[in-house]
Amino acid sequence: MTEVRGDGAAAPSDAIVFFGATGDLAKKQIFPALYRLVAEQDLSVPIIGVARQGWQLDQLKGRAVESLKAHGVAAEGAAFNQLMQLLRYVDGDYNDPATFAALRHELGTSRHPLHYLAVPPSLFSTVAAQLAKSHCADGARLVIEKPFGHDRVSARALDAVLLRYFPEESIFRIDHYLGKEPVQNILYSRFANPVFEPIWNRTYIHSVQITMAEDFGVDDRGRFYDETGAIRDVLQNHLLQVLAVLTMGPPTGEENEAERDQRADLLKAVRPLDPAHVVRGQYEGYHDVPGVRAGSTVETFVAVRLEIDSWRWAGVPIYIRAGKRLPLTASEVLVIFKRPPRETFGEIVPAYSGHVRFTLSPDVSVGLGVRVKAPGERMIGRDTELILSRQAGEDRPPYQRLLGDAMRGVGELFTRSDLVDAQWRIVDPILDNVCPLYLYAAGSWGPAEAAEMIGRDGPWRNPNPGGTG
């Protein structure tokens, strides 16, 4: 159990251990996040990389230099030197108690280490058990990467194992979307402005569209992706969390679980997906990616229609789509309002008459779509969008925020056991090959069936980075 200081706050972690130190995630996300924590927040605890590559510390340092270089950080300066000085390395097999004895030795006097498991999910239970046996888990925190389980049953089984060794408040399940500035921006805009809340419901909202488009393919992640697919890779976690932030009730009270409680309530109210409202797609050429099985029917695109069974949202269709090899890379959320109850000006009113748009990438913006009168004698209008705020993409990488929070024992931006369970509950009925798979051309907006699925609530509104409307 993590010790609570006299002032009621949890004791900060006094060492960082990251398993999978030689892997891809460490290179892409962890080293840059650690560097920024050192540079901006004065991180000064030992940082111990663990892997089973037969490496020495110098090789790990070399990897860190490579990673930082790829992120535009030169191998010089006080923060860089401090990071190098904090780095340690333990090599060994995760099944071998000797590896964990060496880790315990390296931890020295540390009483509250933070263990970050950036390893394949099949190793989560093994590492957690070994940490407990070697006493490395005493007073410690555990950070777990997604995917958390492969379906609802396996996620529950994994939870049961982890909870044997770590209490829930010491487990930090990462969904990096929750650490993203633009996702925090949705939450902030909703509850810092009294104008949104009165219209954020079934009376005024016609439908919601969430789009996560990526123009790149599966590339060098064929083996991982072919066991995952778009539903498990981004819908079950990132996009459902975005939906929760967009539609949850206002956090109340002073409990630090208030926000997570609201997200959990919302996710528990989402109706499990109906296969009739799901379109799966695969881009042409996916089978040529190294690591992908011949004849694979794994989806690289998914579009769904969801419903939330609550008084606030009953009857409001929520459309979510995500795909690889689409025409561009951009993510956004569009909240579409109902048309006015009467056509005062007798013109042809479009299917809906206004929206709020939150763009998550490449830039971060909030836009208000409204209809304004076109100049001239006739009362005829056109659609326009007011950009309420626009800023360049996130400058604080989500992993920096999340690692810093976990070290301080702040769990708000992590998923909780009940949230993960609620998320699997939603997607469980459509996992694997329940829904047909349609091919789509690379560079298109996915299979035509997705347009049919949205039907009269559509069309899908494609992100238009930098543009309006």
Which positions touch ligand BG6 (CB under 6 A)? 214, 233-234, 361
The strand pairing partners of 371, in sequence order, are 383
Judged on CB neighbours under 10 Å (0-12, 13-18, 19+), 370 is middle
Nearer to ligand BG6, 214 or 421 (CB): 214
Question: Minimum distance between the CB of residue 264 and ligand BG6, rounded to whole angstroms?
Answer: 21
| Residue in 238, 277, 287, 355 annotated catalytic | 238
The closest alpha carbon to 154, from 420, 416, 413, belongs to 420
Please state, in angstroms and rounded to a whole number, the distance separating the CA atoms of residues 435 and 280: 7
Question: Minimum distance between the CB of residue 102 and ligand BG6, rounded to whole angstroms?
Answer: 31
The closest alpha carbon to 411, from 174, 234, 113, 148, belongs to 174
Please state, in angstroms and rounded to a whole number, the distance separating the CA atoms of residues 242 and 256: 20
Nearer to ligand BG6, 233 or 457 (CB): 233
Nearer to ligand BG6, 296 or 361 (CB): 361
Please state whether beta strands 171-173 and 318-323 pair in parallel, antiparallel, or not at all (unpaired): unpaired
Question: Minimum distance between the CB of residue 324 and ligand BG6, rounded to whole angstroms?
Answer: 7
Question: Minimum distance between the CB of residue 147 and ligand BG6, rounded to whole angstroms?
Answer: 8
Residue 238 designated active-site: yes
Place of tokens 């590559």: 53
Q: Please answer whether residues 77 and 50 qualify as being in contact, where contact means their C-beta atoms are separated by less than 8 angstroms.
A: no
Six-digit token string for 30: 């962890």
Buried b (16+ CB within 10 A) or exposed e, 332-346: bbbbbbbeeeeeeee
Nearer to ligand BG6, 234 or 407 (CB): 234
Nearer to ligand BG6, 178 or 279 (CB): 178
* Region for residue 245 given its phi and psi (left: phi exceeds 0; alpha: psi -120 to 50; beta: otherwise): alpha
* Residue showing the smallest CB distance to ligand BG6 in the complex: 233
Nearer to ligand BG6, 13 or 241 (CB): 241
Q: Any idea how long the chain is?
A: 469
Question: Minimum distance between the CB of residue 339 and ligand BG6, rounded to whole angstroms?
Answer: 33
Q: Please answer whether residues 437 and 297 qualify as being in contact, where contact means their C-beta atoms are separated by less than 8 angstroms.
A: yes
Helix (H, G, I), strand (E, B) or coil at 225: helix
Helix (H, G, I), strand (E, B) or coil at 319: strand
Question: Minimum distance between the CB of residue 2 and ligand BG6, rounded to whole angstroms?
Answer: 27
Catalytic residues: 238
